[in-house]
Structure 1
């Protein structure tokens, strides 16, 4: 290391060196202060082959994750990502803390003496940690069991299946990682065009429901069983489309009797739509 600061190429060099000593089929969890940027850089600039990146799971160290924006925490927080358990990603900091007492005496030492002292101290710490490894593992195991029992109690209290919670979590991640909306002079026009398309779909679906009801009335009662399912599906889709149109009109801020075709070039509506978009962006920034 020739300069101060956490340069990204140091992490890349460590990853390359690590892969030289690991089997090709081993999975590696990588906790880094800016693991999100590191993964994006690897994918964007092809620092490693895709086969190499498939063996890595990137995440952010626990204490640094809360300094990131919420969408980043949703994806890269180790407590929200499978495979990391209760790891905090501060193993290197613990090593630096153990070597910190050597800073003062090594400042006045020669180059080779520094290497000798550091090597000797690292070997001593390795032997010391190996001796206490069984006790450390037992403490971690007990802590995991306590956390597991607390989670099981919480699951029994909420009375919601785990599969449903995971589905809801995936939906939350998808919703909260969407790009922020942007203001545009054509946003109101696009929304109006979308509402007009939905209204045409509502009319077509209502016509289909009427045709099915008429066909059921004309057919003998013994042969209407096949049309019952189609009629129920058509009615459900018609109701869903009407609700969608109603929500879109409410979001646009126009009444049901307003002529949408005449509002395409309405300056007030365009300004109001962009204001709502800007409000959503400000709210998201405050949440992050």
Structure 2
């Protein structure tokens, strides 16, 4: 979604360690300890034929059970995006709700986009009545902490920045029927062009060209449709399957924006979605999707 309003370093974040938490700055990343990382090769092989998925597989985690057997999709139920704009800055909170529908404990991984210049500064993992806050550490350290928590059987989360605008979120040791809520916060500077400020929230990691040749016989480790290659060694981590044209996503998204411009707002428009705009003051406005929940597109 792109709404016009008159508009690093890579890292990893770890959440976990039982109920202790650390953010991991990998390259940097967020880490929440107490978990494991899935390597959904079987699922990836299924989709590498054409890169397409069905509606109930899109925008979803994939995972494996404690014996290393791969499950099917681990559905993303709902995404809620709340953005607060103050002057030229935007602070956003993205809340994603997942649920384990399987009779076994699983590990899961989910690849999703954020704005190109977003600076993620917090991640929270909520499992039942347990709330774990992430800490930022260097990628290798975050990964090591996450793996250790996984071996202990703790619930944990790991957020890796694969590209400036592509993130991979891993959640470990999710019990049968358990509901998981991941909340990510970031800040960014509004875009500005010819008197118009804009804010953009991406809803899909689009297909991309992957040059080079895959290694032989080394398998790809990510869940994407592409094999790792000699030119793009992490291709399997940045190519999540996408929906076929005219196919409905299996989950929905709600989005709200509160604007405090500090000066009079001339107009608020969205180039991609129907919106509702409520102006409380000349310099303030609240913006919502016309359909309170919409499919990511």
Q: Same fold (TM over 0.5)?
A: no
Structure of greater relative contact order (alpha carbons < 8 Å, 6+ residues apart): 2
Q: For this structure pair, what is the TM-score category when the shorter chain's length is used for normalisation?
A: under 0.3
Q: Over alpha carbons, which structure has the higher Rg?
A: 1
TM-score of the pair, normalised by structure 1: 0.18
TM-score of the pair, normalised by structure 2: 0.18
More helix per residue: 1
